[in-house]
Amino acid sequence: MSFFIKGKQVNGVKRTKYATDKNNKKRKLNTKAKNSKKNEEITSSEDEGLDADKTADTYSSEDENETAQEKKVRLAKLYLEEIEREERNRLEDKYVDDTVISRRLKEDYLKETGRLRLTVAEKYKSVDEEQIKILKSREQRNTITCLCLSSDDKYVFAGSKDGAVVKYSLTSYKKEGIIPFVKNPTSEKPLGHSSQILSIAISSDHKFLAVGTKSKEVFVWDPNSLKFIEKLLGHKSAITGLCFKKDSNTLYSSSEDRTLYIWNLDEMTYIDTLLGHEYIIASIDTLYKDRLVSSGGRDLRMWKIPEETQLIFNGHLGNIDNVRLVNEENFVSSSDDGQLCVWSMLRKKPLCVVENAHGIDPSNHQPYWVSALGALVNTDLLASGSQDGSVKLWKLENNFKTCKLIMEIPVEGFVNCLSFSSDGSFLIIAAGREHKLGRWTTVKSAKNQIIVVPFLKA
């Protein structure tokens, strides 16, 4: 059973006594090693650090001899070298012009500050039908409920009602590995999951794969080897949403128990709980800032975590099942009332509302339930899915005050999850016979599968 210790508040956020900077931790360990007379508590992880060796002492001494200015210069040089290497790989060229690096630095800065706005939707002309790929696995015979894409766009991880997680390669389009369903899992190091998978997320550095189950547990796996790392306990009901803060190992989780938890996966510790929702939390999302958007019942909330404040948005007539951040200031939501809404943090009411986004169901004369949303971050491109037989692409115009349909992609069955690649060159669609949360309606002719849809651009 996990053991959590809350500490003092730092910048308005409760932190564990373990959530500290690595260098501070090393200095603390060295102090404890020298002064053994003090009766201070040392955890097992700190014991390992004391035995860890001379490498930590070497790095510490280097840090001590290095001035703050020298450290900044060294880190800046490393950052520039990394950008140059990435751009060389992207352009497939040995030499990269300074203007390319300058543009990349500007984009990274605007991205992290939430001010990057790219107009790309008008370039999307059609689907490259000849290159569409279908991914299926015999371990996932039931509906696929969730998926996540690695930051390098090489792998996709999918969870299903079977309780299995399958890793697919997006270069060979084959199954790379599986975390299976296990009826009687061991308590210490389980080999798989024992209930339905409802949510999944991967960290930006590919170090952690978090999986949320219907049995109120969050499992943490190594996405490379698919080996078990840790089990996070605390929620009292099914885990409905998981997301990592970009370029960080801070994990957010939401549950049917109406709570949001913050975790530090570097230390495998619980940090804080966010309270406020009066209904089941169905979806969450985050980007680079310490902000979190969540949907529960008929209200949306934007959490400003350092300030310990929240903004409440109301607008939908039905239960809000999906929310996605477009950038740090705008987000989009959908619900079972058939509406697609675009929001700004500066307004309580939506900037744009698309009524009956996927049409009317002829069997009951009610709007089709918008069951999935996807957003190409920091751009004007959105995707939505339902059970009407298509995935729709939308363009945000007029400073996000209008939403224009630009393309429809035929997809049979319920669309349960959508995810764009980082460059927007393809869209991953999780489709199945049933909705991810229940069996109210079944599309018998549909197949439980993942569809990789590449685009043709102008």
Q: How far apart are CA 392 and CA 405, in angstroms?
A: 7
Domain annotation covers residue 139: yes
Which residues, 6+ apart, have CB-to-CB distance to 346 below 8 Å?
329
Question: Are residues 92 and 131 located together in one domain of the fold?
Answer: no
Residues 257-284 have pLDDT tens digits of 999 999 999 999 999 999 999 899 999 9
Query: How confident is residue 189, by pLDDT bands cut at 50, 70 and 90?
Result: confident
Domain annotation covers residue 203: yes
- Asked if the model's pLDDT at residue 27 lies above 50, the reply is no
Query: How confident is residue 240, by pLDDT bands cut at 50, 70 and 90?
Result: very high
CB under 8 A, 24+ apart: contacts of 124-128? 124/381, 124/393, 124/406, 124/407, 124/455, 124/456, 124/457, 124/458, 125/455, 125/456, 125/457, 125/458, 126/407, 126/455, 126/456, 127/407, 127/409, 127/453, 127/454, 127/455, 127/456, 128/454, 128/455, 128/456
Return the higher-pLDDT residue of 439 and 310: 310
Question: Are residues 127 and 108 located together in one domain of the fold?
Answer: no
Question: Are residues 148 and 207 located together in one domain of the fold?
Answer: yes
Q: How far apart are CA 304 and CA 248, in angstroms?
A: 17
Question: Are residues 92 and 166 located together in one domain of the fold?
Answer: no
Residues 329-346 have pLDDT tens digits of 999 999 988 999 999 998
- Asked if the model's pLDDT at residue 42 lies above 70, the reply is no
Question: Are residues 96 and 237 located together in one domain of the fold?
Answer: no
Mean pLDDT over the full length of the chain: 84
For the ranges 54-58, 166-170, 232-236, the lowest mean pLDDT is seen at: 54-58
pLDDT at site 87: 73
Write out the residue range of the structural domain in which residue 99 sits.
Answer: 68-113
Question: Are residues 94 and 191 located together in one domain of the fold?
Answer: no
Domain annotation covers residue 57: no
Domain annotation covers residue 382: yes
> Is the Cβ–Cβ distance between 358 and 386 less than 8 Å?
yes
Domain annotation covers residue 384: yes
Domain termination site, one of 81, 113, 145: 113
Indicate which CATH number applies to the domain containing 131: 2.130.10.10
Question: Are residues 202 and 284 located together in one domain of the fold?
Answer: yes
Tell me the average pLDDT across 211-231.
95
Count of domains forming the chain: 2
Q: Which range, 5-19, 55-69, 143-157, 428-442, has the best average confidence (pLDDT)? A: 143-157
pLDDT at site 57: 45
- Asked if the model's pLDDT at residue 28 lies above 80, the reply is no
pLDDT at site 115: 65
Question: Are residues 213 and 287 located together in one domain of the fold?
Answer: yes
- Asked if the model's pLDDT at residue 22 lies above 70, the reply is no
Domain annotation covers residue 303: yes
Question: Are residues 245 and 309 located together in one domain of the fold?
Answer: yes
Question: Are residues 143 and 268 located together in one domain of the fold?
Answer: yes
Domain termination site, one of 113, 144, 172: 113
Query: How confident is residue 101, by pLDDT bands cut at 50, 70 and 90?
Result: confident
Residues 118-171 have pLDDT tens digits of 899 999 999 999 999 999 999 999 999 999 999 999 999 999 999 999 999 999
Q: Which range, 94-103, 419-428, 433-442, has the best average confidence (pLDDT)? A: 419-428
Domain annotation covers residue 55: no
> Is the Cβ–Cβ distance between 359 and 99 less than 8 Å?
no
Question: Are residues 322 and 264 located together in one domain of the fold?
Answer: yes
pLDDT at site 7: 40
Question: Are residues 268 and 139 located together in one domain of the fold?
Answer: yes
Domain termination site, one of 113, 138, 168: 113
Return the higher-pLDDT residue of 36 and 309: 309
Domain annotation covers residue 35: no
